[in-house]
Amino acid sequence: MRFPDKQVRSCACYAGSWSSIVPTFCCTDDLQDTRYFMELICSVPAEPLPMQILALASNAGKANQDAQMTYAALANHRQPHLDCLAYLSQLVLHQINVSKLPLLALIYQNNMSWRSYRMFFRDPSMATSKQTYYDLSTMLMKVAATMPDTLVKTKVMHLMRCSGTVSLAAAACSMDVLRVWGRWARSEGVVGKSYLPKSPLSALPATGVLAGFGTDFMTNHAFGRGTVAVPVAWIDALAPHARVIFQVVRLRNRMRTGKADFSGQHCVESILYLAETFWQSSPFMLQRYGLGWWALQLPAVRFIVGSSSFRQFEQRVIDAELECNARPLSPQMTEAFDKISKHVCSLSEQ
């Protein structure tokens, strides 16, 4: 996110960030046709803070030969620098504010052409076209080229699938959960091949593990920055008129005064949540990227970051994170770490 080349920097806003974390969809080529079908599907009643689940839809990928609409469930990561929703918020807000994607305007106008916009594109002129394997691999290779060890194209494109599978297995997720999450061929029958992959919550334990909370996330969801309220004016600064558009679209759907567009309503609601996530993760983005953080090119962000109210907000976020990190680990996680330590010690002795 702080690369001298403009094209590499825009790619790194999302492609590079996502390649550095555990995956959302199962294969990197699944991302080729990911559109703006987003939905805040539920608030899982975890403790001490409910877990917000955002679903992304896609009908592409080599594990989806019939082009059925499948979904991936995402949750905020325990560690701010690994939070896929924080990076997703930067992708979406970058495209709205920098690439000038008219997503919100089209939804407000009841224009269904917004559904043709893809999340991943090399240039705004290509936003309505499905990205090719070459386009996506080129974006990832540009980011991978900044790393010490060079990765070949095939390795880059399988990085997410491999890392996700290893992460789930290491966290003791069952093979059944892993197969549903990964849409592996051995998920037999209609239930495994069709019904389960269409529900983002079918592999909820995988979502909890990939978010860094372990398989016991229902009793271990200590998410500090999520407890800090974001000023409404800051959300409006990043997503202008989004709150008004959400109210208009929701009323239109309820009163049936135009074409029903519940997908558009869910998309705007998700953008509002991502704007909130953006600010809750902003202290850590500033800490990591400093003046090289792309968001500082937005006048509204520069103004807010330079204010005294942001410094107070920043301190509250950091304090909340420190308090959560000071919480004792759950018995399940403590036991898992003990096993890993013993295994590492045995390998050292050998």
Token representation of residue 187: 């998920």
- Determine what percent of the chain is predicted with pLDDT higher than 70: 59
Q: Are 118 and 31 in contact (CB under 8 A)?
A: no
User: Taking 60 as the threshold, does the pLDDT of residue 177 lie above it?
Assistant: yes
Range of weakest confidence among 21-25, 212-216, 219-223: 21-25
The average pLDDT across 181-201 equals: 54
pLDDT of residue 1: 41
Phi, psi (deg, nearest 5) at residue 176:
-65, -45
At 15, the pLDDT band (50, 70, 90 cuts) reads very low
Cα–Cα distance, 180 to 195 (Å, whole number): 10
pTM of the full structure: 0.73
* List of residues 6+ apart from 199 with CB closer than 8 A: 71
Cα separations in angstroms, 115 against 37, 107, 264: 7, 9, 8
**In the predicted structure, residue 123 carries a pLDDT above the cut 80:** no
> How many angstroms separate the CA atoms of 35 and 57, rounded?
7
Q: In 173-208, which positions are buried (b, 16+ CB within 10 angstroms) versus exposed (e)? A: beeebbbbbbbeeebeeeebeeebbeebebbbbbbb
Read off the DSSP letter of residue 15.
I
48-105 pLDDT, tens digit per residue, is 888 998 888 776 655 555 556 677 788 898 888 888 889 889 989 999 999 899 999 9
Q: 289-316 pLDDT, tens per residue?
A: 888 899 999 999 999 999 999 999 999 9
Higher pLDDT, 136 or 195: 136
Q: What Rg value do the Cα atoms of the chain yield, rounded?
A: 20
Answer yes or no: is pLDDT of 182 > 80.
Answer: no
pLDDT of amino acid 61: 58
70-74 vs 51-58, strand pairing mode = antiparallel
Residue-level pLDDT at 25: 46
Measured CA to CA, the distance from residue 163 to residue 157 in angstroms comes to 11
